[in-house]
Amino acid sequence: MKSCLLLILLIYFFSQGDSSTFNENFAISWGNDHVKLSKDGQTVQLLMDRVSGSGFASKNQFLFGSFNMKIKLVPGNSAGTVTAYYMSSDSSAHDEIDFEFLGNLPKKGYHLQTNVFASGVGNREQRIKLWFDPTADFHNYSILWNQNQLVFSVDSIPIRVFKNNERIGVPYPKNRSMKIIASLWNGEDWATDGGKVKIDWSNAPFIASYQGFEVDGCVASASSKSCTGHWWQQPEFQGLSRNQLKRLRWVQRNYMFYDYCKDKSQSFSSVPPECAINP
């Protein structure tokens, strides 16, 4: 029994999904002349300067799945820049699952912001400091998304869980298919110290690199959007294991410095009900 559980967990952490070249699953979405693709199609560099940022997006939309991206962030003085990896639907009352890497001054380190939108309702930001230098090498950032939970992970360590709490009136992203999107853009109005630190354009072009385009999701189509029977829909992945929960709490205790659930300045009429339930 233990060996079976271990095997399942290994599949979860290390499954390669649809590991392919960039052109098979993705296309440049903006800033064409600010995107560099390696000859083997395995690495994409997004560039940003005064003229433009850049981005790419998946050719397909997905309803649930496991999505991984390896990213090496802008080195040096990255203040004011935002490197993003997220999923988003097309509708106005949209769903969205965000990794946003907020650039900073040297030696102050990146802040990783996660957020969840469901039916157009957001304001669910959490921010952590990373326990490594994300500019020195590639690290894996993953989203596990099924009907019961969203799990954000960094190098297989859960950093956030957003549970399906529709039973208490909390919107959950489960009805709208989403594209996978990556971008590098100018966020100096808010990204670093609330917008106090601006971009130093003498450091341009800023470069963020992406690899490991691993997609294991249900492709949304007119014929089927139910997406059942996949490994990430199995009972083992409807919650965290004891070890995963332990690692999540390690991140929360040591590296989380902002949580919307504890922000009294937010314009919530009352504390969001999921705050008492989510890990």
- Which tokens belong to 115? 């957020």
Alpha-helical segments (H) within 105-235: none
Cα torsion for 236, 125, 157, 136, to the nearest 10°?
150
Q: H or E element: which one contains 56? A: strand 54-58
Q: Examine the residue annotation and report whether 100 is marked as an active-site residue of this protein.
A: yes
232 in Cβ contact with 63 (< 8 Å): no
- Beta strand segments in 104-205, E: 111-117, 126-129, 139-145, 149-154, 157-163, 179-186
Which residue of the set 96, 188, 214, 274 is catalytic? 96
Which residue of the set 100, 188, 214, 274 is catalytic? 100
Give the chain's radius of gyration (CA, Å). Answer: 18
66 in Cβ contact with 233 (< 8 Å): no
Q: Examine the residue annotation and report whether 24 is marked as an active-site residue of this protein.
A: no
In the block, tokens 């504390």 appear at 271
Active site residues: 96, 100
